[in-house]
Chains A and B, each alone.
Chain A
Amino acid sequence: MLLLQQAASVACYGGLMVISSLPPTLSPQPLSWRKKTPKIKMKSGQCIMRRALIISELELKPPPYSLNSLEPHLSRETLELHWGSHHRAHVARLNSLIAGTDLDGMGLDDIVIATYNKGSPRAPFVHAAEVWNHDFFWQSIKPNGGGQPSGKLMELIERDFGSFSRMLKEFENAALTQFGSGWVWLAYKANKLDVGNAVNPCPSEKDNKLIVLKSPNAVNPFVWDYSPLLCIDVWEHAYYLDYENRRDEYVAVFLEKLVSWEVVSHRLDIAIKRAADRAREDEKDS
């Protein structure tokens, strides 16, 4: 559970509890984060443990770098607000919505899929997905990022887009045409026909390939059973303090200076293995 003083600084929109104050100044040092741990709560007033409540609460993961270390590309103030208020508020709200429900105790991935509910999202979805998206986003970037990918990732980029610069162009274009709030993704689309509420009777030419796609608000391609590799947050709060309305500049800087291609490569390795494992299972079943 978030400490009360942290909870007191939560202020956000979307029907959440609001206390009108700015968040406390956060330490520039990354907090050591704890994995989700089940707590055993004693029923109050009981001397003997008659019944224990297991409460599993999701915790706010800090980025793997200090909040000022992405300067001058993303300011400390932006990180303090984006991670310290927006992301934090989604964690708090998600915990309060799932407490005592069938979702309590589930891992975040499972909560996202369950609450997406095959395209008819339940109330916790926006918060679960935003926690997922923001965790993913912070991991996708790093101080002194940018440069170019190599190895298998570069090979697939060249195979599926023609060239690295073409992929960047497509990614930028998607970011600039995501009308409203949302996210843009580089993802690996495996050959999986069941995509929830979508009707997909035939494998498409995009299977087992890298693709660029965009999603509105909190939706992410994870719910469509794709393997996301990289994302950029194009909600205005992600860039407005540093870039105002110049989303194009933010996207360019993100790609040139911030992306951690090592992380993207690592995710691709996992995605390919996952697709191969599933293909073997499908073969066994058929």
Chain B
Amino acid sequence: MALRAIFSKKTPVLASGFGAGSRCLRSGLCQARGVAAVALPDLPYDYSALEPTISGEIMRLHHQKHHQTYVANYNNALEQLETAVAKGDAPAVVRLQSAIKFNGGGHINHSIFWKNLKPVNEGGGEPPHTSLGWAIDTCFGSMEALVQKMNAEGAALQGSGWVWLSLDKGSKKLTVETTANQDPLVSKGANFVPLLGIDVWEHAYYLQYKNVRPDYLKNIWKVINWKYASEVYEKETA
């Protein structure tokens, strides 16, 4: 088993370091700064563990390059923001917002995404026989209908973005939402909690599926981690 998998036997921590006591999984980055920096979370499985659905090459690039870049750029932007705020430089504060939104959103979204996936031999793809399963039947008619809707909306999304199974924690209703670029789900509605997100940026599938995004969407359900989605749902509807 890969070294990474041994380490991941521990509960992976999303190291969004707010204040003291936050764990940081990369060298000293969090401790060195007074700002609330973040770190790249480890994957709870090997890069190749989702094959043949998603190739190890894609997982490695997606995690080590794309997500890591969002983390680095977000931390960089936060540092600049701290300086700008301290100086009272309002134009700089405003100018930094797009980088914070994009890179911070990228970090948030991908951190959820890694938890949304699971190797088949660890239960990936197994549909929920839980309150979430019943809620899906109620809101969409059936699991098949939900999958079809998410696939259709994911395929129709122009450019880059995400397709989500969303829980409105106010009304407790489930809906399918899409967000553009790296906008997190909460940008669609303050009450929206992401249960599942599927990355439809080309980098998520191009090396393997080329321009056939619908094939990627059709296949990804084989490695969806419904256990995680159920846990989030139960926590929010308790």
Q: Which residues of A contact B (CB under 8 A)?
A: 11-15, 18, 20, 22, 81, 85-86, 89, 126, 177, 179-182, 216-218, 235-237, 240-241, 244-245
Is B172 interfacial (CB-CB < 8 Å)?
Answer: no
CB contacts between A and B, total, < 8 Å: 82
- Asked if B206 and A245 make an inter-chain contact with CB atoms under 8 angstroms apart, the answer reads no
Residue of A nearest to B210 (CB): A81
Which residue of the partner chain, among A20, A236, A241, contacts B212 with CB atoms under 8 Å? A20
Contacts of B98 in A (CB 8 A): 179
B77 CB to closest chain A CB, in angstroms? 12
Q: Does B69 contact A (CB under 8 A)?
A: yes
Of B65, B158, B211, the contact of A217 (CB 8 Å cutoff) = B158
Query: With A244-B61, A245-B66, A245-B69 as given contacts, are A14 and B206 in contact (CB-CB < 8 Å)?
Result: no
Query: Which residues of A sit under 8 angstroms from B158, Cβ to Cβ?
Result: 14, 126, 217-218
CB contact between B159 and one of A15, A235, A245 (< 8 Å): that residue? A235
* A29 shortest CB reach to chain B, Å: 23
Asked if A179 and B207 sit within 8 Å, CB to CB, the answer is no
B203/A180 in contact, CB under 8 A = no
Q: How large is the interface on B (under 10, 10 to 19, 20 to 34, 35 or more residues)?
A: 20 to 34
Q: Which residue of A lies closest to B103 (CB)?
A: A179
Q: List the 6 shortest-distance A-B pairs measured between CB atoms, nearest first.
A: A13-B213, A236-B202, A180-B181, A15-B156, A181-B159, A217-B159
Closest to A179 in B: B102
Which of A85, A182, A217, A236 has the most CB atoms of chain B within a 10 A radius of its CB? Answer: A236
* A89: B residues at CB distance < 8 A: 211
B220 at interface, CB cutoff 8 A? no
6 additional contacts (CB under 8 A) given A13-B155, A179-B102, A218-B159: A14-B156, A18-B212, A20-B214, A81-B211, A177-B99, A217-B159
If the complex has contacts A180-B180, A237-B206, A240-B203, are A14 and B155 also in contact, measured as CB distance less than 8 A?
yes
Q: Which residues of A contact B213 (CB under 8 A)?
A: 12-13
B159 and A180 contact, CB distance less than 8 A: yes
Residues of B within 8 A of A86 (CB): 211
Which residues of A sit under 8 angstroms from B161, Cβ to Cβ? 180
- A240: which B residues are within 8 A, CB to CB? 202-203, 206-207
Are B159 and A182 within 8 A (Cβ)? yes
What residues of chain A lie closer than 8 Å to B51, measured between beta carbons?
Answer: none
The answer, among A13, A18, A85, A245, for a CB contact under 8 Å with B65, is A245
**A179 contacts B182, C-beta separation under 8 Å:** yes
